[in-house]
Amino acid sequence: MKKITPPLPLLGGISAEQFLNEYWHKKPLLIRQAIPDFKPLLSKDELFALSGRDDVESRLISFFNKHWEMKNGPQQHLPVKQKQDWTLLVQGVNLHDDAANALLRQFRFIPDSRLDDLMISYAEDGGGVGPHFDSYDVFLLQAHGQRKWRIGAQKDLTLVEGMPLKILSKFKAEQEFILEPGDMLYLPPKYAHDGVAVGECMTYSIGFRAPSYQELGESFLHFMSESIDLPGRYADPELKPSTKPAEISNEMVDDISAEIAKIRFTDDDILIFLGEHLTEPKPNVFFSGPEKPLAPKRFHQAAIKNGLKLSNKSQMLYKGKHVFINGESFAVNREDKISLNKLANERRLDGADLAAVSADVLEAFCLWYEDGWLEIC
């Protein structure tokens, strides 16, 4: 029987299924009051403080004297005195703030393998990042103040050359809206847009990940390099005297080609690669475990009493018997699979769930807790 998904206020009262069928990758959707009475989750000072940390990715974009500039974080000084024509973009706020993480998780009708992060932008009146397109789908939630969005479905995506950021050379707006706090605009990939702050403004971007096939292919070959097994060594017992010593012989090319052609990979190799790749923490993500971790026995008691939850920074996925967490993978038995799938889907386990897990998994949980991947609730 076909599963009917409920209407979501976040999507303006349509179901996730309808949104995916009609809008996802296809056309923009403006949702007035997607989150009624929405209040910013972080103050501008909290956001500025985040942008000064070296474990936080940020960009400062300015358009002073009609000249675009971009500076990657950590940000030492923000041009607060100049007031206008600059924007601060802080990536991955969900990793550092529980409320931002909870907001991102409201978008889990899109699978975790596609959901990326919550970026917050801050701008004063007139600030913006210029007309551009993104390669990914994005939900733009207005959090504070107003932003005027102009958008267009143009095919000409030529960029102005020599810019530190992507600026469309011929932007043609077809629609224009002013978003108020709680309003949200969904844009499909490659949809031209330009958002300009009307007064002080904060916009939250819920972004998605769509790795390029080139990136996946390169990473897959790297992954395979650790597991290929090609025994033996090149030999040429029939070697003849060389008259052109610098030329590589046909025999050598054929022999090596036949050996390289023995490299095989299975669907399981691809799955394990993909799970590890997708859960690999980004380079600026650092986990920190508790300063004084409980000893394993005390940890188990506390976990059974209070339950466990994944750190906001942990990425956990599964498929079949394979479980992936923060770039690592392992295969599990049927009983453990139930609990680990639940941990991955709900990002927490109750104490009662822990009664069913094997000693091996409990031991792994204790290590994850010490490493800061998992926390006691």
> Binding residues for Co ion, per CB under 5 A?
134
Q: To the nearest whole angstrom, how small is the minimum distance from the Cβ of residue 166 to Co ion?
A: 9
Residue 68 φ then ψ, to 5°: -75, 135
How far from 258 is each of 239, 251, 252, 262, 266, CA to CA, in Å? 18, 11, 10, 7, 19
In the complex with ligand SIN, the residue whose CB is nearer, 94 or 205, is 205
For Co ion, the closer CB: 46 or 134: 134
316 is written with which tokens?
């956990």
203 contact, one of Co ion, ligand SIN, none, CB 5-8 Å limit per kind: ligand SIN
- Sequence-ordered list of residues with C-beta below 8 angstroms from that of 76, at least 6 positions apart, any chain: 52
Q: How far is the CB of 193 from Co ion (least distance, A)?
A: 6
* Secondary structure element (H or E) that encloses residue 117, with its range: strand 115-123
**By C-beta, is 121 or 312 nearer to ligand SIN?**
121
CB 227 within 8 Å of CB 187: no
Provide the residue type at 35 as one letter: I
Which of Co ion, ligand SIN, none interacts with 344 (beta carbon under 5 to 8 A by kind)? none
Could you say which of ligand SIN, Co ion, none residue 195 binds, taking C-beta under 5 to 8 angstroms by partner kind?
ligand SIN
With CB cut-offs between 5 and 8 Å by kind, which of ligand SIN, Co ion, none does residue 312 bind?
A: none
In angstroms, the CA 32 to CA 330 distance is 44
**Element housing 140 (H / E):** strand 138-152
Contacted by 92, from Co ion, ligand SIN, none: CB < 5 to 8 Å by type:
none
- Name the residue nearer to ligand SIN (CB basis): 40 or 275: 40
- In the complex, which residues of this chain contact ligand SIN (CB under 6 A)? 87, 121, 128-129, 134, 138, 193, 195, 203, 205
Residue placing its CB nearer to Co ion in the complex, 190 or 309: 190
Distance CA 371, CA 325 (A): 12
